[in-house]
Amino acid sequence: MKIYKYWLIGLLIISISNPGCKKLLETKPDSKLAIPSTPEDLQAMLDTYYKLNERESALGETSADNYYLTSDLFKAVSSEDERNTYVWSKNILFNNLGNDWNNLYEKVNYANAVIEAYHKMAPAIRAANADILGQALVFRASAFLSATVIWSRVYNKNTAGTDLGIPLRLNTNFNEVSVRASIQQCYTQIISDLKQAAAVSVNKPIHVIRPSKPAAYGFLSRAYLFMGEYELAGKYADSCIQLHGELIDYNDINTAAALPFSRFNKEVIFELVSPSSTPIFSGMIDSTLYASYDADDLRKTSYFRENAGSTLKFKGSYEGHKSKLFFGLATDEMYLTRAECYARSGKLTEALKDINFLMTRRWKKTKYTDFKSDNREIILNKILEERRKELIFRGLRWADLKRLNVEKPASPLVRNINGVQYELPANDTRYALPIPQSVIQITGMPQN
Amino acid sequence: MKKRICILTVLLFTLHLSIKAQLIRGWVTDQQNHAGISGVVISVPDLTLKTSTDSAGYFTLKVAPGKYVLLLHSIGYNDLTITVSSPSNNQLLIPLTPSVTQLSEVSINTGYEKLPRERSTGSFSVVSKSQIEQQVSTGLLGRLEAVAGGLMINKTQSSEGSIVIRGLSTIAGPKNPLIVLNNFPYEGDPNNINPNDIESITILKDAAAASIWGTRAGNGVIVITTKKAGFDQHFKINVNAAFGVQDKPNLNYIQSMASSDFIDLEQMLYQKGYYQDRINTVGTALSPVVDILLQRDNHQLTELQAQQHIDQLRNIDVRNQYRDFVYNKGTNQQYSLNMSAGSDKFNWIIRGGYDGNKSALSEKYQRASVTFENTVIPLKNLTLTSSLSYANQNNRSGKQGYGSFSSAYAQLYPYARLRNTDGSAAPFYQYSRSYLETAGDGKLLDWTYYPLTDYQHIDQRQATRDLLINFDLTYTILKGLTVSGKYQYEDQQVSATTLSDKDSYFARDLINSFTQIDEDGNISYIVPKGGVLNNDNRIIKSNQFRGQLNYNRILGDHEIHALAGAEIRNIKTDRTLGKIYGVNQNLTTADVDFTRPYPNYITGEEYFIPSGVLLDKTNLYYLSEFFNASYSYKEKYTASVSARKDAANLFGVNTNDLWNPLWSAGLSWQLAREGFYHLDFLPSLKIRATYGFSGNADPTRSAVTTISYGANSPYTLSPYATFDQFGNPDLKWETVKMMNLAVDFAIKDNRISGSFEYFTKKSTDLLGDAPIDPTAGSGLILQKNLAAMRGHGYDITLRSVNLDGKFKWLTNWNFSFYKDKVTDYYLSSLEASNFLTGSLGITGKAGLPVYSILSYKWAGLDPLTGDPQGYLNGVVSKDYAAITGPSTTINDLTFRGSAVPTYYGNIGNTFSWKSLALTVAVSYKLGYFFRSQSVDYSALFINGIGHSDYALRWQKPGDETKTSVPSLVYPSQQARDDFYTYSDVLVEKADHVRLQYINLSYQPSPTLLKGLHLSSMSIYANISNVGLLWTANHKHIDPDEARSLVSIPNPKTVTLGLRAGF
């Protein structure tokens, strides 16, 4: 009898160390937690839209030439970083926590985690969910492309193998020290990711917030364009248009509205958003640029509003928001890229057809007369002019300035603040923005 | 244990009684716990005869027949005079009432066992019932700082503060000490516990004391023991009633910028065009001054009118508005009732309490609690204790206090007027006034906010219901060996609701924002008219079971105590959050469309209606095995050992990594019991030494990367998931090695008694947030093993009877010292700005305290411009970007001192005379520094966050000799502001002495009590939060309230109360 009582307590102690308890210890402590391993887990990570789609960097647009600040407006910009960015200062502090570098690389990390987990899944599951891999690759490549445009110099075939690009982080090991790859390596990685993605992605996603095959083609077109590989840029723009080629006719929208365009309109191929940039939204539109829009060009009223003091303001773009910028892919960009590439390769008829097709949907009905020329230069210049006007504040101007300066250096960009003139000559080293100093400090990578 | 001695002595006594009948015999007991009191001096003044009670509290007096007056005196108890007649066949039972400050603690409760202090080797601090009862606050834990030893409440991070036992553990993981109620960790809100139910509190301080609680003991353990009933006890009732009044908070403590200064600044910024962007952005709210200036420029006001309007605002101080129109005096009511009785085989106690508080903002708080507990001995060797507790807390919102809302800027402008001169509530604008006047052609709901009356439309309630059921079955198998099973079930439900009715600003704003008016003026409501109800229900259910084997035996000179057991705890939480729209008086609701976005009325941007739905479930398992043993020889030498292994179902951790063993060992030596010991003046002397490991609760050590599911994406209508933990297999458990050396002593008659304890702490893997390369995409910081540290300190506890006699003076003194230093720092990044943040972080430099106040070297103001100056590479510099940038490392910073107190403690003095007793409790924190607040021009321009230092700013050459506040520059420079904020010149000494409370009580004499048919009674008055007695800084800042610009010291509370026992 007494022995029995010892047994009781002994049993209790043993029971806690036995395998039954192991089961308890393997119970999920929180129903919301998961180790990313199923297609649902990976898709859920890629659907974290506020981190993956809505944190594009406006540093390029803020540095570009579509707008200006008066001295008063300049001083009223609260963020010193934004003021420094405006005058192309080397002293951008980036001491705010959510800076653009971190945001883009956080996106890369999400994509890498998905890619790693994807490759650990069973072959059959992998095969059935290849689109997830495609989405992750598009997110990673687009983040690398944005970062390359901002923090590296322009692609130059002769020096790309040695020019400093950005760190290419291809796994989730945070202990790995970041090293700047060459620009050539950057573009090679971006293009290989996108080609792989295009092969496995779906033609039509359930929502344009998710990357797709046309999105992969669109970014391939952008990447080749920035490299100056015009033939391939045109080819992929064409592939993109084949899958998603609808254009809005601006005659069908209320151009007088405060926000004429709705989000996810039919031109949008893939959604990317840049949060507010104070200089751009408190700034004024360059008056020469504004004057270049014809009175019958519906873009004049749908993109801009005139303020009481005859100052000009940007209304906001395809984001349907007055202080957020649409940096995603839309069909108008693809038509302009294809047109430019046709023109460059001498396919002038095709180039004219594209530009006129787009313009008839931008001008008031019956007011537009087809642009005609048989001179390659004239046609190319017309296309580039329309490209700037159509794709204003779409996150493309900085890259366009850089690549166009290579073939024909333009006059310096100029800012005037309190009687001081700041200049950014074509091909200046400052076209590659300073990397956040804290990153330099931790990694020891060379600064721009 | 005590009980056994008690029964034994009763038996012995009856034996004696039968032999000798011609003596006066008596048993002196503690009136409260009925234990015999040893060493009570009994004198018979008529006969100049004296004797004292034996160790069990018995005495005999040989006297001739007659009537005698006996005088009983014992330290810690009130003197008593009784009249007896001899001879008598009856044994006198003489209860003594403890004096206000009871001197000797009865026993230590570790939560696993109760043991006499004599047998312990570890470091414990015990707070007695009388010390708890001298304070009247509703919460229990807040009462500890003024009376407990080796404990401090660190208020540098939050207003309620965190309890710190022997130095801060790291910031990683939970910061609170483990709260144990009777036998089990208490998972509910500690405020559920009624302080009037408490018998004693034991604080486990060193590794030997705490290691029985394993990894959860990292922040220390506080064991709360409730009042129990005794066997063979008459029916007793104890009641307590108290009523307190709390002052209005002193808003003038807030160093806000003068209204006139703020207005001048706004005028200057307006002139420079700073507000142009806000003015141009449709709908953006403007402050009244900016609005007036704009109206002047739009020719809606003349220059003179504008000036007059502005000048009227100059005289308003919003703090006075709050004082006069919002805050009231708060009231606290407290009632409690205890009833208990016991026979030889059964006892029971009922404890009940009610608290009803009304805050200075008319917020209501109620707590009702009731416990029924009984112990029964159904069989010879079996004891069964069961108890049932139920507590109910209710909170209800009141008015909106200072800092709870703003307009135009993130912080409310100082000239805000809450009430118009005609007494009506003043309107505030969250959108521009001029826009709202025309918006919607009167078709919209009123879109202005009335902070003075809006609270009438917001009903926020929180109800906490806590049910606690306990069973404890103990069976004695054979002599000295018992087996016990303990089980506790806890069910706490918290339901919080916020109803913002249709007239609340919250509801009106939401409805208007989503309202659509088409071109024909037809109105449609996307968010239906009506109130908005938020529901938040949280349930915690815990089951805990412990099986334990105890062995206690005295075999000749050998005394063995051992326990071993295992326990399992399961804690499940469940949370449901939701929003209901269109709530009307008759409780009808309306459906809304969460699936698509709708344009905002003002901006046209599209937004989703906030659904506010959240479901959350957690299910935690903790398994533990523990062992504890002590062996004593001849009651002189004691050795103890304790070990524990814990495991939990941490997510993403390999099972083998889950079990974390911790152990400790200790020795003690009762020196005074040695034959060679002859120090008569020091009759009690004991030396103790322990060594062991104390762990830290659950560091997030995930071997794999985990994700956490969030809500549904509104676009894909499927769930999204974010990273939860990044796989971090390199992380090591943080363990602290602790050594404790102590001496316990008491001089003759216990006139002075106390202990001196010296301890050391050593840790090699302190966890903290380390800055990482953001390029990795895992954020900016990651938990890493940052540093190694070494610390040491001492706790001195002294109790002295300074005056004894008619006028008594007792002192309780706790003095602690703790100092640590970093011995190794593992990270390569020593960027200064990483160590200059608002929160506490581990210092990255060997030789400095783990938590240090570091600052930029200050080189004064530039005499020409008033710019702050620092040093760059040893040269005076104004290159703020470089000074505050990554090139400045921790080695360039000035070290001022520790960020947490190095010396702290409390002193309680009790003076008593006849029936009156006065206690004054003072606490102090010394030897540390804090950063005082000042002007940050960037924050001022952008967010309207001002500081009174603005008036002291440098304005003209020569000012630099009188002030260190930098000149105003426009545009502001963040780096310049950061440099000043973290510069030397703002670091202040934080040393201070605080008068915690004063308690005056009246306890009627025994004769009067008898006349009133009471066994005890006390009428008391108490003043708490009396204020600072002294601070080292000259800015009149309370260092405990220096966290932010809006922290305010707790207002003074005066309470009157009555305690009585029947």
Q: Tell me the nearest-neighbour CA distance from B711 into chain A, angstroms.
A: 10
- DSSP letters, A277-341, are -HHHHHSEE-HHHHHTS-TTBTHHHHHEEE-TTS-EEE---TT--SS-EE-SEEHHHHHHHHHHH
Lowest mean pLDDT among B7-11, B465-469, B930-934: B7-11
Q: How many CB pairs under 8 A join A and B?
A: 272
**Burial class of residue A157, CB neighbours in 10 A (0-12, 13-18, 19+):** exposed
What residues 376-415 of chain B have any CB closer than 8 A to a CB of chain A? none
Q: Tell me the nearest-neighbour CA distance from A343 into chain B, angstroms.
A: 38
Tokens representing residue B57 in the block = 């509290």
Chain B contact set for A6 (CB, 8 A): 477
Indicate the average pLDDT of chain B: 87
* C-alpha distances in Å from residue A371, one per residue of A218, A298, A361: 26, 17, 14
Given the structure tokens 């066949």, which residue do they identify? B89
Q: Which residues have CB under 8 Å from B307's CB, separation 6+?
A: none
Tell me the residue ranges of DSSP E strands in B158-252.
Answer: 162-165, 178-181, 184-185, 198-204, 221-226, 233-246
- Decide if pLDDT at B429 tops 90: yes
Lowest mean pLDDT among B522-531, B678-687, B912-921: B678-687
Q: Tell me the nearest-neighbour CA distance from B707 into chain A, angstroms.
A: 5
Per-residue pLDDT of A265-310, as tens digits, reads 999 999 999 987 888 988 889 889 999 999 999 999 999 988 766 6
3-state DSSP of B540-552? EEEEEEEEEEEEE
Report the residue from A34, A209, A262 with minimal CB separation from B716. Answer: A209
- DSSP letters, B773-799, are -GGGSS-SEEEEEEEEEEEEEEEEEEE
C-alpha to C-alpha distance for A62 and A68, rounded to whole angstroms: 10
Interchain proximity B606–A320, CB inside 8 Å: yes
Q: Which of A106, A29, A138, A208 is nearest to B722 (CA)?
A: A106
Would strands B92-96 and B24-30 be described as parallel, antiparallel, or unpaired?
A: parallel
Largest CA-CA distance found in chain B, in angstroms, rounded: 114
Per-residue pLDDT of B76-126, as tens digits, reads 677 788 888 777 767 788 888 765 443 344 578 888 888 877 778 888 888
pLDDT at B80: 82
- DSSP letters, A177-213, are PP-EEEHHHHHHHHHHHHHHHHHHS-SS-SSTTS--H
Give the count of beta carbons closer than 10 Å to the beta carbon of residue B780: 17
Instruction: Using pLDDT thresholds of 50, 70 and 90, give the confidence band for residue B604.
Output: confident
Per-residue pLDDT of B477-519, as tens digits, reads 888 889 999 999 999 999 999 999 999 999 999 999 999 988 8
Instruction: Using pLDDT thresholds of 50, 70 and 90, give the confidence band for residue B137.
Output: confident
Name the DSSP class of B445: P
pLDDT at B1059: 93
* Number of residues in chain A: 448
C-alpha to C-alpha distance for B108 and A255, rounded to whole angstroms: 80
**CA nearest B573 in A: which residue?**
A30
* C-alpha distances in Å from residue B856, one per residue of B872, B964, B975: 10, 14, 12
Question: Looking at per-residue confidence, does B701 or B176 come out higher?
Answer: B176
Triad B213, B216, B219: Cα angle to 5° = 105
- Decide if pLDDT at B457 tops 80: yes
Given the structure tokens 């982080």, which residue do they identify? A169
Report the residue from B566, B651, B721 with minimal CB separation from A45. Answer: B721
User: Letter for the amino acid at A307?
Assistant: N
Lowest mean pLDDT among A164-168, B359-363, B466-470, B1040-1044: B1040-1044
Question: Looking at per-residue confidence, does B450 or B844 come out higher?
Answer: B450
pLDDT at B240: 94
- B829 vs A: CB within 8 A: yes
C-alpha to C-alpha distance for B566 and B180, rounded to whole angstroms: 17
Interchain proximity A13–B603, CB inside 8 Å: no
Across residues B733-746, what is the average pLDDT? 88
Q: Which residues have CB under 8 Å from A397's CB, separation 6+?
A: A60, A61, A64, A65, A66, A388, A391
Label residues B854-868 b or e (16+ Cβ within 10 Å = b): bbbbbbebbeeebbb
Interchain proximity A44–B707, CB inside 8 Å: yes
Tokens representing residue B985 in the block = 């010149």
Across residues B1054-1059, what is the average pLDDT? 95
How many percent of chain B have pLDDT more than 90? 52
pLDDT at B15: 35
pLDDT at B8: 35
- DSSP letters, B126-172, are EEEHHHHHT---S-SGGGSTTT-SSEEEE-SS-SS-EEEESS---SS
Q: Which of A403, A446, A448, A447 is nearest to A427 (CA)?
A: A403
**Burial class of residue B875, CB neighbours in 10 A (0-12, 13-18, 19+):** exposed
C-alpha to C-alpha distance for B787 and B407, rounded to whole angstroms: 45
Per-residue pLDDT of B818-843, as tens digits, reads 999 999 888 877 888 888 877 777 88
Name the DSSP class of B587: -
- Cα-to-chain-centroid distance, residue B779: 31
Q: Tell me the nearest-neighbour CA distance from A255 into chain B, angstroms.
A: 14
**CA nearest A108 in B: which residue?**
B777
Interchain proximity B625–A17, CB inside 8 Å: yes
- B568 vs A: CB within 8 A: yes
* C-alpha distances in Å from residue A4, one per residue of A7, A16, A346, B64, B567: 5, 19, 98, 61, 20
Name the DSSP class of A13: H
Indicate the average pLDDT of chain A: 91
Across residues B326-354, what is the average pLDDT? 94
What residues 180-209 of chain B have any CB closer than 8 A to a CB of chain A? none
Give the count of beta carbons closer than 10 Å to the beta carbon of residue B654: 11
- Decide if pLDDT at B657 tops 70: no
Interchain proximity B603–A106, CB inside 8 Å: no
Q: Which residues have CB under 8 Å from B682's CB, separation 6+?
A: B672, B745, B746, B747, B748
Q: Which of B522, B502, B498, B518 is nearest to B510 (CA)?
A: B502
CB–CB of B251/B319 below 8 Å? yes
Chain A contact set for B625 (CB, 8 A): 13, 16-17
Tokens representing residue B855 in the block = 């600052």
- B621 vs A: CB within 8 A: yes
Across residues B216-243, what is the average pLDDT? 88
C-alpha to C-alpha distance for B912 and B78, rounded to whole angstroms: 10
C-alpha to C-alpha distance for B1019 and B916, rounded to whole angstroms: 9
Q: Which residues of chain A have pLDDT under 50?
A: 1-2, 97
* Number of residues in chain B: 1062
ipTM, 2 decimals?
0.89
Residue B820: which H helix or E strand, with range?
strand B807-825
**Burial class of residue B55, CB neighbours in 10 A (0-12, 13-18, 19+):** exposed
- Cα-to-chain-centroid distance, residue B697: 18
**CA nearest B275 in A: which residue?**
A76
* Most B CBs within 10 Å, among A1, A9, A314, to test the B interface: A9
Q: Tell me the nearest-neighbour CA distance from A321 into chain B, angstroms.
A: 5
Per-residue pLDDT of B668-700, as tens digits, reads 999 988 889 888 888 889 999 999 987 665 555
Instruction: Using pLDDT thresholds of 50, 70 and 90, give the confidence band for residue B171.
Output: low
pTM of the model: 0.84
CB–CB of B743/B685 below 8 Å? yes
Strand partners, B581: B590
pLDDT at A310: 60
Strand partners, B339: B237, B350
Per-residue pLDDT of B278-315, as tens digits, reads 888 888 999 999 999 999 999 999 999 999 999 999 99
CB–CB of A406/A396 below 8 Å? no
pLDDT at B144: 87
**CA nearest B784 in A: which residue?**
A175
Lowest mean pLDDT among A2-11, B526-535, B823-832, B991-1000: A2-11
Across residues B647-660, what is the average pLDDT? 70
- Decide if pLDDT at B605 tops 60: yes
- Cα-to-chain-centroid distance, residue A102: 14
Chain B contact set for A2 (CB, 8 A): 477-478
Residue B274: which H helix or E strand, with range?
none
Q: Tell me the nearest-neighbour CA distance from A233 into chain B, angstroms.
A: 29
